[in-house]
Amino acid sequence: MSTNSKRLITALVFFLWTALILAAFYVTQKPAFLRGIQALAGSGWTLLVWAVLVTNAAGVGSLLIRSLPQLTLQHTERLLLSTGIGLGLQGLAGFLIGMLGWTHPAWLIVLQLGLLLLLWWRKALQVVWVDLRSMAAAWRESMATAPAWLKIAAAATLLFAFLLALAPPSEAFDAMFYHLVGPQRFLNGIGMQPSSVPHFWFPALPEGLFLWAQGLEVDRTTQLLHLTWAVLSVLVLWYWAGRVWQSKTAHATLMVLLSMPSLYLLASWAYTDFALTFYALTAIYAVYKAFDLDSSAPQTGWIVIAGLSSGMSMGVKYTSFLVPLSSVLLVLWWGRRNLGSIFKSILVFSLVAVGIAAPWYLRSWFVMGNPFFPFAFGGQYWDTFRADWYSQAGTGIGWQLKELFTLPLNATLGYRDANYYDGRIGPLFLILAPLTVTVLLKAIKQPGQPRRSLLAITIFGLLSSLAWVLGVINSAALWQTRLLFPALIPLALPTALGLLAIKNLDTPQLRLSFIFNFVVVAVVAVTVLDAGIHVLTRNPLAYALGLETRQAYLSKVQPAYAQAMQLLESTPPDASLYFLFEPRSYGATRQVQIDPILDNFAHDWFVHSDADSLVQDWRSRGYTHVMLYRRGVDFLSGDRSRSFKPEYQDALELIITNHLTLLETTPDGAYELYRINPP
């Protein structure tokens, strides 16, 4: 044997020896880094999918906007509008591929990578990059004169929202109810099948975007996408304030926004509120810009953008009809001297808006028999009982003068809010309201851009606030301050002008502006510190880095729900469960029928009024088990806003005793799993 052969054999033996010892060492010691590789890879994939979706959105939006006539935009304007509108187009595309069944991960990757290459070939990505650099420079220039504490607060708030978005979906109730479950239905091939859950038939533009992420098995990306809409909304308002007024106004606007305790929390959830906020804001901004050069001849390109944003807002929520209404009112008012041209603009606006919004309403019409299911015209699975139960008409504050007068205070305090944590707006809006009104009244006499800007924001803000008040008057279920966010966030700009107007109240004896600056700093500091404590308590990085499992995180933040999902695992794989008093089902591994408006049992009893026939109806629908949420029963029993009569409670206990067999209860007693007895 030659010397070289001996060396080769020796080297191979030493290599194998090294591999053996290393494997034995790290398998035994299990370093935290190696344990977290899979989690780090998952977090990296989450961020990569988000980056590709947003980049493609910006590129597609840029191509579209640059093709519009009579349109000159600044780099920052173009980037913000392109990205937001592109996200909406991605949502429409997600809905289309969901209907067509093209939801295999490999196919989704091919589509997105193909689009990325096409945008690079068309040089759209290069334009996006130039716009991004220009906006970054504008931001640095604007913030150069901002106080240091504002920069720290803005960076901390964004960081906290980003970290929370890296946690698995767990706290966002509506996300686990339908924002994430709806796209999952398309991924499972049942998205167009009739369902008695009304929320699955609401306009679902953001859910169409979420489908891309969920199809690629990164549901945390959905939260990053909602955060993107939130950041875009803030930047649009910052840009608007800085362009029409000055950097100081843009800074004050950021201060008002950062004082909202729920801003970062809501932004980090897979919700739709900031999608609606962005499209509402850009719709009224586009109408304002359409009349920027000549108040009697609106620019067609801006009218098309207003139509796109209005149509996309109607693709988010039914309540968004106020966006096109406000836009049309503004067009009519500013163009009243040239009605012929204005009617043409309104026609263009309407065709674009309706064309963009139509898919969601046509879907509900064809499948459920009502384009606005379940409102106005009812539809499948809907009757007067459910309509009354859902609306809770007559349970609101009514027309009591005391209640109406104190409504702004109660909304600010939040203690009567149906969803307290996600609807906290902070104290500055109410404190500055008198000065804000004064600023708006004075603006009526000021010509030019400031007047038109404030008129656009105020018209939409007033109409939206009035609609919310009417809802609260009629129904306790609509007492959700979160529903005001699409109006309140644009109103942060006139509120900021009210903040700056405090200086006019200074006297030689009292510098009120100096004192109030400390108040603003204190309010923002408390808000940011509170957010930081919340994030530290949740510790989402533990999951993102692989130091905590998904189940462990869910058990920490939603222990009862985590236990309920584990209960499902004890049922046969082909089990079909009927939920009572639990609307959520995200993460369920069995076929389930949720209780979307907590009326499953009450409605069934209303229809049958007999235990035997009611249970037989459950069997005929294929249900094998019942999951009962006891806290839901307690909630309805003590809630005067719903008619969960004692007879329903008695009937429920009768059916449990005679027709169901208790299999297991969660340790905290919140959930009970039953098997439906055979006939």
Dump pLDDT digits (tens) for 316-366.
Answer: 999 999 999 999 999 998 888 777 778 888 999 999 999 999 999 999 999
| Cis peptide bond prior to 374, omega within 30° of 0 | yes
Q: Are residues 568 and 652 in the same domain?
A: yes
Whether pTM > 0.85 for this model: the answer is yes
Other CB atoms within 10 Å distance of the CB of residue 460: 26
Q: Which of 198-202, 391-395, 510-514, 634-638 is modeled with the greatest confidence? A: 198-202
Phi-psi group of 588: left, alpha or beta (phi > 0 → left; psi -120 to 50 → alpha; rest → beta): beta
Q: Are residues 491 and 591 in the same domain?
A: no
- Per-residue pLDDT tens over the stretch 159-169: 999 999 999 99
Q: Are residues 594 and 666 in the same domain?
A: yes
Whether residue 497 lies inside any domain: the answer is: yes
What is the Cα–Cα distance from 181 to 200, expressed in whole angstroms?
A: 8
Whole-Å CA distances, 50 to 70, 87, 605 = 33, 11, 46
Question: What is the pLDDT averaged over residues 403-418?
Answer: 84
Question: What is the pLDDT averaged over residues 69-92?
Answer: 94
Cα torsion 434, 440, 444, 447: sign: positive
What is the Cα–Cα distance from 135 to 129, expressed in whole angstroms?
A: 10
Please give, one letter per residue, the 3-state secondary structure of 60-71. HHHHHHHCCCCC
Whole-Å CA distances, 216 to 184, 186, 570 = 11, 13, 28
Q: Are residues 489 and 568 in the same domain?
A: no
- Tokens coding 530: 């509170």
More confident residue, 643 or 114: 114
Answer whether residue 646 shows pLDDT above 90. no
The β-bridge partners of 10 are none
What is the Cα–Cα distance from 80 to 486, expressed in whole angstroms?
A: 17
- C-beta separation of 282 from 229 below 8 A: no
Mean pLDDT, the chain, whole residue set: 90
Question: What is the pLDDT averaged over residues 25-32?
Answer: 71
Phi-psi group of 432: left, alpha or beta (phi > 0 → left; psi -120 to 50 → alpha; rest → beta): alpha
- C-beta separation of 309 from 85 below 8 A: yes
The percent of residues above 90 in pLDDT, for the chain, comes to 68
Instruction: Provide φ and ψ at 661, rounded to 5°.
Output: -120, 120
- Structural domains in the chain (count): 3
What is the Cα–Cα distance from 652 to 386, expressed in whole angstroms?
A: 19
Whether residue 270 lies inside any domain: the answer is: no
Q: Are residues 474 and 569 in the same domain?
A: no
Answer whether residue 29 shows pLDDT above 80. no
Whether residue 21 lies inside any domain: the answer is: yes
Answer whether residue 517 shows pLDDT above 60. yes
- Per-residue pLDDT tens over the stretch 170-196: 889 999 999 999 999 999 999 999 999
Question: What is the pLDDT averaged over residues 149-166?
Answer: 96
Q: What is the pLDDT of residue 299?
A: 87
Rg of the chain's alpha carbons, rounded to an integer?
Answer: 28
What is the Cα–Cα distance from 301 to 503, expressed in whole angstroms?
A: 40
User: Which segments of 475-549 does DSSP mark as H helices, in order?
Assistant: 485-500, 512-538, 540-544
Q: What is the pLDDT of residue 643?
A: 59
Q: Are residues 439 and 501 in the same domain?
A: yes
CA dihedral 203, 229, 83, 456 (to 10 degrees): 80
- C-beta separation of 651 from 633 below 8 A: no
What is the Cα–Cα distance from 52 to 29, expressed in whole angstroms?
A: 37
Show which of 489, 505, 521 is a domain's final residue: 505
- Per-residue pLDDT tens over the stretch 424-475: 899 999 999 999 999 888 887 777 888 889 999 999 999 999 998 998 888 8
Reported as a pLDDT band with limits 50, 70 and 90, residue 367 is: very high
**Kind and range of the H or E run holding 660:** strand 660-665
Q: Residue 120: CB partners within 8 Å, gap ≥ 6?
A: 126
- Per-residue pLDDT tens over the stretch 563-607: 999 999 999 999 999 999 999 999 999 999 999 999 999 999 999
Q: Are residues 668 and 567 in the same domain?
A: yes
Reported as a pLDDT band with limits 50, 70 and 90, residue 298 is: confident
Q: Are residues 565 and 672 in the same domain?
A: yes
Whether residue 202 lies inside any domain: the answer is: no
Q: What is the pLDDT of residue 341?
A: 78
Least confident among 28-42, 193-207, 386-400, 573-587: 28-42
- C-beta separation of 272 from 172 below 8 A: no
Q: Are residues 471 and 580 in the same domain?
A: no
Whether residue 140 lies inside any domain: the answer is: no
Q: What is the pLDDT of residue 418?
A: 79
Answer whether residue 673 shows pLDDT above 60. yes
Q: What is the pLDDT of residue 72?
A: 83
What is the Cα–Cα distance from 538 to 532, expressed in whole angstroms?
A: 10
Whether residue 549 lies inside any domain: the answer is: no
Q: Residue 442: CB partners within 8 Å, gap ≥ 6?
A: none
Q: What is the pLDDT of residue 160?
A: 97
Whether residue 410 lies inside any domain: the answer is: yes
SS3 326: helix
Answer whether residue 92 shows pLDDT above 90. yes
Q: Are residues 388 and 499 in the same domain?
A: yes
- Nearest CA among 35, 31, 40, 45 for reference residue 544: 40
- For 585, the domain range is 558-676
- Per-residue pLDDT tens over the stretch 475-492: 888 888 888 999 999 999
What is the Cα–Cα distance from 145 to 626, expressed in whole angstroms?
A: 61
User: Which segments of 189-299 does DSSP mark as H helices, in order?
Assistant: 205-215, 220-244, 247-258, 263-267, 273-290
Show which of 467, 489, 505 is a domain's final residue: 505
Tokens 């297991």 locate to 664
Q: What is the pLDDT of residue 640?
A: 47
More confident residue, 642 or 222: 222
**Residue type at position 341:** S
Instruction: Provide φ and ψ at 625, rounded to 5°.
Output: -140, 160
Show which of 463, 484, 505 is a domain's final residue: 505
- For the packed helices 273-290 and 75-100, what is the interaxial angle rounded to 10 degrees? 130
What is the Cα–Cα distance from 131 to 66, expressed in whole angstroms?
A: 13
Q: What is the pLDDT of residue 659?
A: 94
- C-beta separation of 273 from 486 below 8 A: yes
Q: What is the pLDDT of residue 338?
A: 79
Whether residue 448 lies inside any domain: the answer is: yes
Question: What is the pLDDT averaged over residues 115-141?
Answer: 95
Q: Are residues 585 and 666 in the same domain?
A: yes
**Residue type at position 612:** D
Cα torsion 434, 440, 446, 448: sign: positive
Question: What is the pLDDT averaged over residues 4-25?
Answer: 79
Q: Residue 540: CB partners within 8 Å, gap ≥ 6?
A: 163, 164, 166, 167, 553
